[in-house]
Each structure stands twice: as structure tokens, then as C-alpha cells.
Amino acid sequence: MFQRVWALTAALMLMLSLGATSSHAAQNPHERGPDPSNSYIEQARGSYSVSQRSISRLGSDGFRDGTMYYPTSTADGRFGVVAISPGYTASESTIAWLGPRLASFGFVVVTINTDSRYDQPRQRATQLHAALDHAIGDSVVGPRIDTSRQAVMGHSMGGGGALQAAEERDEIRAAVPLTPWNLKKGWSGVDAATLVIGAENDAIAPVRSHSIPFYESLTNAERRAYLELRREGHFAPNSSNTLIAKYSVSWLKRYVDNDLRYDQFIDPGPRTGITTGVSDYRLG
């Protein structure tokens, strides 16, 4: 009798476990990669091997040129796509480190050179749209992309352009402007989940007149957050930065892939204080 009861109990527990797994998968059909930990998302590469494909000046349409980074394997289905713009006077090389790093966590990533290094945020927004469209239409990369899951990033005026790009395109689910600059301060028209990353010692786009007002104005975004890098300046995003990568990956995984496993890194978010690399963190 005991053995029969034990067997029935074990069978019920297995059914409940399978049901929970099935329900979890149904809620998160775009989960990619292993269960995340701090050590996993802080490392320089995720679980995917990455390939890249150049975009020549003759082959581009709407921006100068660029590079597409994408998971080599197609076993996990389609991925979200992220376009990234450099800042004023800067080239693609200044944001290129983000390409393979983000792609290795399960995204198609396009980094670009803008038509002119002097392009303003609105022009950069248009070129971010063009970069997304180029990747989607590419014969090799396009079939790997879920066109309903788009995101934009950018540094400085590229960050300002990312805000404008998100405001203008419904398919953009997430935006991550990095030490952004824009004369426009109100972004209530953005509904994409937006993580603004500022720098405490930024003298070019001071956080009090750029990043913080941008964050505060994002009243209609699906989610908004502001992360401030302690003792860093305007050009912090121009070289490999663990904090920028960690929280960008977490934000994109959560709001492009709807991967609830990454909530743990967003809420409550990073600790702040003199012993950390974060001087301010706000979540709305």
C-alpha cells in the first residue's frame, strides 16, 4: 500500500513539474541561453558562438556602412535584432565592442558608421531604422531575425538618436541610450522599455541636463530605468565596460525576449555607493 501511495505521489509531482516547465516555456517562448547568474552575464561572452558579416558602403541603404554580428547556430530559432549608433564625430569602432558581446547572448546586432560623423540625433534615428531594415532584409542574417523584436542603442548623439528611433517605430521594444545627448528633453512618446545609462562625471552631456531629464520624461515607457556610472565620463561606453554590458544584456533579454529570468538584475538592480561602480539607480 505504501509503495502504491509513494508511486502515485511521485507521478503527481512529476506531472506538476512538467506542467510548471511547460507553463514557464509558454510564458517565455523567446528564452535563449542558460539560466543567468551574475558571473554569466558579467563575462565577456555568452553561450553563443558568433559570426559576423560586413555591410559595405555600396551595399548599405540609409547609412554609411557597418557590421552585423549574429549567433552562428540556428537551432534556437529566431532572435531579436539590435542596432547601435556611435556618437558625434565618432566611428563604428567606438561601439564595436558591443556587437559580438551582445550577439553572444542571443541577439542579432548591427553596428554602423553614420553617413556623416556630424549627423544630429534625428539623422541618427533614421539611420538606426535603416540598419534594422538592412539586417532584416539580408539574405544570410534576415532569416535569423524575429522582426517583431527590435531594439536600439547608441552613444552620445547616437543615444539621443536611439530615443528618437524608439519614439518613431512601434516594433522597437527596448532602447538603451548610453551617455545620451539631445536638445529634446521630453520623451513621453516613447513606449519602448528604456534604460538610460549616464556617467557621473560627464562634462559633455551632464546627467542633470540630459540623462536624468530623459529618464524622468519617459512616463509612458513600458519600463524605465536610470543607471549612473560612478566616476566615469562621457566616453565610458567607447571601450569594453562590464557594467554597461551586464545591464544592457539584462534589459534586452527582459524586454526584447520577454525573458523573466532577467528580472532579478533589474529589480532591485545594482547596489549604489562609494564601493560600487554605480552612483545612482532609479527604476520606474
Q: Which domains does the chain have, with CATH numbers?
A: 38-283 (3.40.50.1820)
- 234 assigned to active site: yes
Name the burial class of residue 51, with classes exposed (0-12), middle (13-18) and buried (19+) by CB atoms within 10 angstroms of its CB: middle
Reported as type and span, the H/E element at residue 26 is helix 2-27
Residue-wise pLDDT tens digits, 124-171:
999 999 999 999 999 999 999 999 999 999 999 999 999 999 999 999
CB of 189 closer than 8 Å to CB of 164: no
Give the alpha-carbon dihedral of 261, 264, 269, 270, to 10 degrees: -100
pLDDT digits (tens, 9 = 90+) for 231-279: 999 999 999 999 999 999 999 999 999 999 999 999 999 999 999 999 9
pLDDT for 16 equals: 37
List, in order, residues 6 or more apart from 2 with CB less than 8 Å away.
Answer: none
Is residue 279 part of the annotated active site? The answer reads no
Active site residue 35: no
The residue whose grid cell reads 531604422 is: 129
Per annotation, catalytic residue among 115, 211, 234, 248: 234
Residue of 202, 210, 217, 257 marked catalytic: 202
Q: What is the mean pLDDT of residues 202-217?
A: 98
* Distance between CA atoms of residues 234 and 201, nearest Å: 7
- To the question of pTM greater than 0.85 for the whole model, the response is yes
**Catalytic residue chosen out of the listed positions 60, 85, 104, 156:** 156
**What is the rounded distance in angstroms from the CA atom of residue 156 to the CA atom of residue 91?**
12
